[in-house]
Amino acid sequence: MARPSPNINVMTAAARKAARDLVRDFGEVEQLQVSRKGPADFVSAADLRAEKTIFRELSKARPGYGFLMEESGQHADGDGRHRWIVDPLDGTTNFLHGVPHFAISIALEVDGEVVAGVVHQPVTDETYWAERGQGAHVNDRRLRVSSRAKLEDSLIGTGIPFKGETGHSHYLATLASISNRVSGVRRMGAAALDLAFVAAGRFDAFWEFDLKPWDIAAGILLVREAGGYVTTPGGDPNVLPSGDVLAANDRLHQPLAELLRSVPKTVDAAA
């Protein structure tokens, strides 16, 4: 097994430190569900707390690096070459409702290319990590994408845009096209973990539209280092600018891309 580099160790340590507080806060969510105020403000505070912890730990370890973070946006400071891309709580809605399926995602970008990624699932204490050219792992186990070759045998992950947003109708049409051809479709609510599950062979593929860089940067590297393919549905390997992502093994990627492209863009309108 490849040994994690100093960068991976720094990323993992930051994620685990933030995870301790998230696990504690998650334990409070169930009690907040019945309060008049509700848990939304509490979860927002938990999200910001996790981000501050990660920012502090990564800044201390690599003071010259820049940041792109979900809650606080772009941090311009840095050497112009290295940038952390951070989602401190992917799966916020799950967290809000007491569903134990959420993650911390950290990617390292060097000269515009993601070279290292960590996705940590606090509740299960699973740390998915990958480095360019060094493979993908969960904790100390090497990962490989699934070897399924038939759509009808495959389990596919996805993410659904909120009703009323532009793209909702188009998404539902793609869902209908794919769900009629595969064994099952799962909407788990945390794109970083969905991609980690593709890398681990738990999902055979994943697709979603209009995601942000912090949702997918680490997960894309995980899938590629586990032997999978990640492009836009149109085949562009540069996924971060559009946020439209299709990740799969080498046998399912092309047929799924063709299904997605077969859905006319004319149905893409706000519902």
Kindly indicate whether the domain formed by 6-142 is annotated with CATH number 3.30.540.10: yes
pLDDT for the residue 179: 95
pLDDT in tens, 17-45: 999 999 998 888 766 554 444 555 566 78
Give me the chain's average pLDDT, please. Answer: 90
Q: Phi and psi at residue 62, in whole multiples of 5°?
A: -135, 75
Question: What confidence tens digit (pLDDT) does each residue in 150-181 have?
Answer: 999 999 999 988 766 677 888 999 999 999 99
pLDDT at 214: 96
The pLDDT score that the predictor gives to residue 161 is: 81
State the pLDDT at residue 135: 97
**Class for the domain spanning 151-265:** alpha beta
Domain with CATH 3.30.540.10 in the chain: 6-142
pLDDT of the residue at 44: 76
**pLDDT band at residue 271, thresholds of 50, 70 and 90?**
very low
Per-residue model confidence as pLDDT tens digits over 86-108: 999 999 889 888 899 999 999 99
Q: What is the pLDDT of residue 37?
A: 42
Domain span(s) for CATH 3.40.190.80 in the chain: 151-265
Confidence of residue 268 (pLDDT cuts 50, 70, 90): very low
Looking at residue 28, its pLDDT comes to 81
Give the pLDDT confidence score for residue 45 in this predicted structure.
81
Per-residue pLDDT, averaged over 210-214, amounts to 95
